[in-house]
Amino acid sequence: MGRKLLTEHVNVEGIETFAVYRKHGGYRAVEKALKMTPEEVVEEVKKSGLRGRGGAGFPTGMKWSFLAKPEGVPRYLVCNADESEPGTFKDRYLMSKLPHLLIEGMIAGSYALGARTSYIYIRGELLYVLRILEKAIAEAYAAGFLGENILGSGYSLDLHVHPGGGAYICGEETALLESLEGKRGNPRNKPPFPAVQGLYARPTVVNNVESIATVVPILNMGGDEYAKIGVGRSTGTKLFSACGHLNKPGIYELELGVPVEEFIYSDEYCGGIWKGRELKAVVAGGSSVPILPKELILKTAAGEPRLMTYESLSDGGFVTGTMLGSGGFIAMDETTCIVKNTWNFSRFYHHESCGQCSPCREGTGWLEKVLHRLEHGHGSMHDIDLIVSVAKQIEGNTICPLGEAAAWPVAAAVRHFRDEFEWHVTHPKEATAPGAVYRGNLVMA
Amino acid sequence: MAKITFDGIEVEVPDGTTILNAARKIGGGVVPPAMCYYTPLKGSGGKCRACLVRVAAGSTKDPRPMPKLVASCITPVQDGMVVENTTSQQVLDVRKGIVEMLLINHPLDCPVCDQAGECDLQNFAYEHGVSTTRYEEERRTFEKIDIGPYVQLHMTRCILCYRCVYTADQLTEGRVHGVLGRGDAAEIGTYIENSIDKDFSGNVIDVCPVGALTDKTFRFKQRVWFTKPVNAHRDCGHEKCAGRVTLWYKGKDVLRVTARKDEYGEVKEWICNECRFEKKETSDWVIEGPAHIDRSSVISANHYELPVINPQVIADLPESTVRELEKNPPLKLGGPNGTSF
């Protein structure tokens, strides 16, 4: 098993309290950072090659260096803890088990960016995590790691936790900022980007929970050392939340570069598919990324073994590849109906579209309705082409990436499992029978 | 100043101008349609996606094309930018898709809709759309709601452009309506049906691109193309109201009063509710003369044309457009069987 940088002490009794966390090397990164200049901290993160863990995979150090720094204007660091992607539950785990790790990362990050007030925007449903965080923040204040003049360095920071109202769209960074400002959570038009005009129209950086937490091991071990872990431009370790039909679903911290096959079948990780069944398909990075059939997730189109890295998973583009996304790894066994699954995802995006721009507002509902028809045996061959066409009309034409997130899974499902969709049209009776699943030409009862 | 090339036409505009406004400087058939953008309203735009254009070259400094189509109403120009609107097949295809999306939850009740004849969506659909839809499912419907004594909201027709929300925000004292709900369940609503009776609230009728917000003093009185627009003014006395309006006559009667609009349907000066709803006698006004209607509207022309294309300036028209033009020549004047008018 590879090195664990984030979750090393996760099973230590009482690690959520300040005293125990500190005893296990906690807040060393803050002490180290405060002795460096902010620029040096940014430089360290840049050297580490850390890529955003929220889904897009944009280099964090680069994002930090883009932050506008006009004189006399406050800047903000906002932690995006609105984790709502179906299949992704790593941030919840990290925050509830290791609240001080996130706080430590927030202090170091805020110092690097020159923010005097920082926010953690947490998903509304995670109220119990909010209480854990608030307790931890109070401890950090009491220990002098937050508030005025931290450790006598002259640097002051206030940290607030703000719960969302329960909308997936508020995980989009500009919608999150709107919501944090107390407005309706509609994504903003870009440009201007948050780095120039973010929270309260001030320069703002929005980072995922895991990205911010990862700053702690980066500072502890040094950016260069961190960059040695992993493969190519996918450096370091990443949390994966494995779920679905696996023997051992759960959170795994991997050094990027573990083969997908090993991750699924090795006893060290997921321990294979449950009930001795066959793997059918995998959604590798949360519900928004394209689904891949077994043959393509284990090996790339060129026959290379696929690795758990940003590059390897996206090898082949969207024709034969997918994305690492947020690390929500959903495995589906042979009894899974892909049409039903696609409909289920579509239903989610239909429910969560903010309704601001027309392709997404109307298109997500349309997709859901046609998929509902297909799943329930009322579809026609024409409908299969229709959903591909509607997905194409949404993709790339919306204000925020929710449009793409709704379109990609549908397009990919039809691309790789078209015969299953067609079977739903040609065999409506069999397809709607309870528990029936398409398996080539065989019907599984 | 920034020099850009729009559909093969060069135009120079001040820095910070949006692509759409640069195109409007050229004018004519190359101007992208806009369903939600409204120049007088700060923050509007970017929502309907009708004005998407392709940026073939970002600027002189960085001549790479932009990866996605951009909303021309909110994207500022850069010096050396090359923009394709009617010259890009991709843009025309996407726009057809947008029409289809917008019409999913918009009833085709134009024959009984007061907005018909001056409806942005009607024009947009006619100019860029297709005549059939692939949408078979149930559409959303709402009951009509009276919001205040003058305005009726027919949410079924709403395309959620947010213009009326911005209007109420920026023009009236305290907004009492907004967007409730999410996704395709989003609707314009007044919280616990608070009525809108602010001094300038009537302007939401003018900014509404469709027939969702209509003037209750004019509903079902007359089709707009049977009325004659006449510019007039009065000494209003309200500090924010210009008192310069368009009166819409049928015979000797003033059927309605609206603000004056430019060729893109945008209000030039806001008017107050008193001018709009209370002053419906010729004797209330000083008449200036007939109002000029610029756009390809039935109000002035009594027939629609196909103004999408400016064939003289475009060398390589996309195939589908050429086919469309052959089928429906835009400038052909003549009655059935080739008889001339």
Q: DSSP for B206-236, please give it.
A: HH-SSSSEEETTTTTT--GGGSEEEEEE---
Task: Answer whether B188's CB lies under 8 Å from B177's CB.
Answer: yes
Cis omega (within 30 of 0) on the bond before A191?
yes
Q: B47-77 as b/e, with b when 16 or more CB fall inside 10 Å? A: bbbbbbbbbbbbbeeeeeebeebbbbbbbeb
List Cα–Cα distances, B142 to B91, B158, B187, B217, B220, in angstroms.
Answer: 33, 10, 10, 21, 19
CB contact under 8 A, A398 and B49: yes
Size of interface A-B (CB pairs under 8 A): 90
Å from A402 to nearest chain B CA? 11
Contact A366 B135 (CB under 8 A): yes
Q: What per-residue confidence (pLDDT) applies to B332?
A: 41
Supply the pTM of this predicted model.
0.90
pLDDT at residue B29, rounded to an integer: 82
Residues in chain B: 341
Contact at CB, A355 and B101, closer than 8 angstroms: no
Distance (Å, rounded) from C-alpha A94 to C-alpha A120?
14
Check residue A376 and give its pLDDT. Answer: 93
Nearest residue, CB atoms, A358 vs list B137, B159, B182: B159
Fold type of domain B106-131+140-215: Alpha-Beta Plaits (3.30.70)
Across the interface, do A357 and B46 touch by the CB < 8 Å criterion?
A: yes
- Closest to A207 in 3D by CA, of A311, A57, A27: A57
Whether domain B2-100 has CATH 3.40.50.300: the reply is no
| 3-state SS class at A416 | helix
Whether the pLDDT of residue B319 is over 70: the answer is: yes
Minimal Cα distance from B182: which residue of A?
A354
Are B22 and B13 a contacting pair, CB within 8 Å?
Answer: yes
Whether the per-residue pLDDT at B61 is higher than 70: the answer is: yes
Which residues on A lie below 8 Å from B97 (Cβ)? Answer: 359, 393, 397
Q: List the single residue in B with minimal CA-CA distance to A402.
A: B183
Q: Which of A365, A389, A399 sits opposite B183 (nearest CB)?
A: A365
For residue B100, which residues of chain A lie inside 8 Å, CB to CB?
Answer: 393
Cβ of A393 and B101 within 8 Å?
A: yes
Compare CB distances from B102 to A167, A356, A358 and report the shortest one's residue.
Answer: A358
Integer Cα distance of B145 and B188 in angstroms: 11
Q: Which residue of A has its CA nearest to B73?
A: A189
d(CA B209, CA A129): 45
Which residue in the set B35, B71, B184 is minimally distant from A361, CB to CB? B184
Q: Is pLDDT of A42 > 70?
A: yes
Distance in Å, alpha carbon of B104 to nearest chain A alpha carbon: 7
Please state the domain extents for chain B. Answer: 2-100, 106-131+140-215, 224-290, 306-341
Q: Which of A215-224, A238-247, B223-232 has the lowest mean pLDDT?
A: B223-232
Which of A145-154, A271-280, B23-32 has the weakest average pLDDT?
A: B23-32
% pLDDT > 70, chain B = 87
Residues of A in contact with B94 (CB under 8 A): 393, 397
Which one of A170, A343, A348, A358 makes the best mutation probe of the B interface by having the most chain B beta carbons within 10 Å? Answer: A358
Instruction: Compute the 3-state secondary structure of chain A and give helix, strand, coil in percent, each to the nearest 5.
Output: 45, 15, 40
What distance in Å separates residue A109's CA from the closest CA in chain B? 31
Closest CA to B244 of B215, B271, B212: B271
Q: Which one of B101, B136, B156, B188 makes the best mutation probe of the A interface by having the most chain A beta carbons within 10 Å?
A: B101
List residues of A whose CB lies inside 8 A of any B CB.
167, 169, 184, 189, 350-359, 361-366, 369-370, 386, 389, 393, 396-399
A359–B98: do the CB atoms touch at under 8 Å?
Answer: yes
Whether A359 and B160 lie within 8 Å, measured CB to CB: no
pLDDT band for A437, please (50, 70, 90 cuts).
confident
Residues B17 and A269: their CA atoms lie apart, in Å, by 55
Distance separating alpha carbons of residues B50 and B128, to the nearest angstrom: 10
User: Is the pLDDT assigned to residue B309 strictly greater than 60?
Assistant: no
B47–A359 CB contact, under 8 Å: no
**β-strand partners of B12:** B3
What average pLDDT does range A71-95 have in this prediction? Answer: 95
Contacts of B69 in chain A (CB under 8 A): 396-397
For residue A240, list its beta bridge partners. Answer: A252
pLDDT band for position B314 (cuts 50, 70, 90): low
pLDDT category of residue B32 using cuts at 50, 70 and 90:
very high
| Predicted-complex ipTM score | 0.87
Mean pLDDT of A120-130: 95
A173: left (phi over 0), alpha (psi -120 to 50) or beta: alpha
What is the average pLDDT across B52-76?
A: 94
Q: How many residues does chain A have?
A: 445
The pLDDT of residue A198 is 95
pLDDT-derived band at B295 (thresholds 50, 70, 90) equals low
Q: pLDDT digit string (tens) for B202-212? A: 999 999 999 99
The verdict on a CB contact (< 8 Å) between A398 and B135 is no
Q: What is the CA radius of gyration of chain B?
A: 21
Residue B147 has pLDDT above 70, yes or no: yes
Give me the percent of chain A exceeding a pLDDT of 90.
93
A65 and A46 in contact (C-beta within 8 Å)?
A: yes
CB-CB under 8 Å, B49 with A357: yes
- The whole-angstrom distance between B277's CA and the closest CA on chain A is 31
| CA A286 – CA A269 distance, rounded (Å) | 18
Min Cα separation B41/chain A (Å): 15
- Nearest chain A Cα distance for residue B26, angstroms: 25
Contact: A358, B181; criterion CB under 8 Å:
no
Q: Which residues of B touch A369 (CB under 8 A)?
A: 137
- Taking CB atoms and an 8 Å limit, are A361 and B68 in contact across chains? no
Nearest to B126 by CA among B317, B303, B320, B312: B303
Contact A355 B186 (CB under 8 A): yes
Q: Which pLDDT value is given to residue B334? A: 37
For testing contact with chain B, the best of A347, A352, A362, A386 (most B CBs within 10 A)? A362
- Which residues in chain B are contacts of A170 at CB distance < 8 A? none
What's the rounded mean pLDDT across residues A143-170?
95
* Residue B52 contacts A where some CB pair is shorter than 8 Å: yes
d(CA A83, CA A406): 17
